[in-house]
């Protein structure tokens, strides 16, 4: 959704603005030396804004199909996942770098 050129509704435009803010905060966190973008208070604040938005607004179908319960791309180097709340209003947003290889996977040499 972040790479969509045309947002067709006000809901999509709001989600796009929030996703771009999270992506920019992630880029700034990496530039400041954070290995994990979620360690940066700015990224946490932007993710909080997204969770507050979804506490009171339903996500658009495009956002739902890409990020809710799935790992969606947030640009080329970041991934984002939104987990819906099991209780209460607020879900959780998780952001990470895509270029970091998982530590529990052994690299095979062919």
Q: Is residue 79 part of a domain?
A: yes
Q: Is residue 5 part of a domain?
A: no
Q: Is residue 105 part of a domain?
A: no
Provide the edge-to-edge strand list for the sheet that holds 92-97. 72-73, 78-83, 92-97
Q: What is the pTM of this model?
A: 0.81
Q: Is residue 23 part of a domain?
A: yes
Q: How many folded domains does the chain comprise?
A: 1
Quickly state the pLDDT bin for 103 (edges 50, 70, 90): low
Q: Is residue 104 part of a domain?
A: no
Residue 52's domain comprises 10-97
Report d(CA 71, CA 74) in Å as an integer.
9
Q: How confident is the model at residue 2, as a pLDDT? A: 58
Q: Is residue 28 part of a domain?
A: yes
Quickly state the pLDDT bin for 109 (edges 50, 70, 90): low
């Amino acid at each position: 959704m972040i790479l969509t050129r045309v947002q067709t509704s006000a809901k999509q435009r709001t989600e796009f603005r929030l996703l771009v803010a999270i992506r920019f905060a992630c880029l700034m966190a990496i530039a400041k030396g954070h290995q994990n973008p979620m360690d940066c208070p700015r990224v946490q604040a932007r993710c909080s804004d997204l969770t507050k938005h979804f506490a009171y607004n339903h996500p658009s179908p495009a956002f739902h199909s890409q990020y809710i319960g799935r790992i969606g791309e947030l640009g080329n180097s970041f991934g984002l996942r939104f987990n819906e709340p099991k209780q209460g209003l607020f879900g959780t947003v998780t952001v990470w770098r895509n270029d970091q290889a998982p530590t529990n996977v052994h690299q095979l040499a062919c």
